[in-house]
Amino acid sequence: MIEFRAVSKRFDDGTVAVDDLDLVVEAGTITVFVGPSGCGKTTSLRMINRMLDPTSGTVLVDGRDVLQVDPPRLRRGIGYVIQQAGLFPHRTVLDNVATVPLLSGWSKRDARARAAELLELVGLDGDMGRRYPVQLSGGQQQRVGVARALAADPPVLLMDEPFSAVDPVVREGLQDELLRLHAELGKTVVFVTHDIDEAVRIGEKVAVFRQGGVLAQYDRPAELLARPADDFVASFVGKDRGYRGLSFVDPAGIEVRGGATTRLGEPVSPSREWLLALDADERPRGWLPPGTSADGPLTEDLLVPGGSLYERGTAVRGALDSALSSPSGLGVVVEPTGRYAGVLRGAQVLDVIDRERAERG
């Protein structure tokens, strides 16, 4: 557990970066610090591992005042991941990850064995270990940064905007990887971001900071979106917070129905309705518009892109998006394997949302 007790940080020029912060990060959870630039979220993070010391108040990690612990010793129990990964360019990926175990007194053989295990854990092929950071993509470098932070098996992991420098697709994949690792390892994670979508997606609790280093609201994502504490929080989480809140609506009531389908490689017969084209593995490939005909078998060049796919059982937000983005007006539902499961209509999703709202009163 991490505690901030009346913590403030003032710099020599008089700037107040953090102002009287009281906050508890429960052990084994992901807590996200979010807010505009200059609001004190990164300063708060850095006081946990004594990269900065508080001007007043107390920061405790597992009940111990961090100011009473030697900084190098404190940091050996706290993993740290930053933007751009911060890898040593002159060392191989394997040796980058092995750095912390070596500094902790491990033998070179054991440290490298641990590094190889961690590369696999974060989803990187073992051959990556022989490469240098410059030979990796941005997303791969961030995975190496996470592996290095986990190398000494620290109970606490600090992450300072680690995914902000990669493109949206890679970023979502890294978020998924973090959630998977957390479910497997159960670390206490404090994550800093300026992106409210990222915050509500990965955080079990979210701390919203305002300018001047003041904590504006600390709550579970669903509560933050449904009941912002004031106008600042409401503005920061955005006018579309109701749509974001669909991520927390139970999808159990969504009925998946069979839809009209056709298959790639089969003869094309004109239809009065949209047909969903499947490949040989039963995966959706796109929509065949009504009235389409061709002399030969169905090929992908006849198809219209199908919009987003909704994985059965996941957040209602994805179900509504699949219906809204589909050219046919039908959302395509797939199993976790990617195989076609059926279709849904946006009206069905809205009915589920209305029922959920009525049950909440």
Instruction: Specify if 266 maps to a domain.
Output: yes
31 closest CA partner among 224, 210, 170: 224
Domain end, chosen from 177, 208, 237, is at 237
Q: Write out pLDDT tens, residues 205-253.
A: 999 999 989 999 999 998 898 889 999 999 898 777 777 777 777 788 7
Pair 172, 315 in one domain: no
Q: What is the pLDDT of residue 165?
A: 74
Domain match, 154 and 53 both: yes
For residue 159, being part of any structural domain is answered with: yes
For residues 160 and 283, state if they share a domain.
Answer: no
Q: How confident is the model at residue 18, as a pLDDT?
A: 95
pTM for this predicted structure: 0.79
The reply to whether 171 falls in a domain is yes
Ranges of the chain whose pLDDT falls below 70: 84-85, 360-361
Are both 54 and 167 inside the same structural domain? yes
What distance in Å separates the CA atoms of residue 247 and residue 249, rounded to the nearest whole number? Answer: 6
Does residue 227 sit within a domain? yes
268, 215, 265, 223: which is closest to 241 by C-alpha? 223
Same domain, 95 and 209: yes
**CA–CA separation, 27 and 146 (whole Å):** 19
Residue where a domain stops, chosen among 171, 204, 237: 237
Distance between CA atoms of 354 and 359, rounded to whole angstroms?
9
Evaluate whether residue 245 is within a structural domain: no
Task: Find, among 265, 272, 276, the residue nearest to 342 by Cα.
Answer: 276
User: Which among 154, 213, 160, 221 has a CA at the least distance from the CA of 181?
Assistant: 154
Distance in angstroms (rounded) separating the CA atoms of residues 236 and 214: 14
Listed as own residue / partner, the contacts of 116-123 with beta carbons closer than 8 Å and 24 or more positions apart are 118/147, 118/148, 118/150, 118/151, 119/93, 119/94, 119/144, 119/147, 121/147, 121/150, 121/181, 121/184, 122/146, 122/147, 122/150, 122/177, 122/181, 123/177
- Which CATH number do you get for residue 177? 3.40.50.300
Query: What's the whole-number average pLDDT of the chain?
Result: 89
Angle 260-305-173 from CA coordinates, rounded to 5°? 110
The parent domain of residue 208 ranges over: 2-237
Q: Which of 193, 211, 237 is the last residue of a domain?
A: 237
Count of domains forming the chain:
2
- Model pLDDT, residue 149: 87
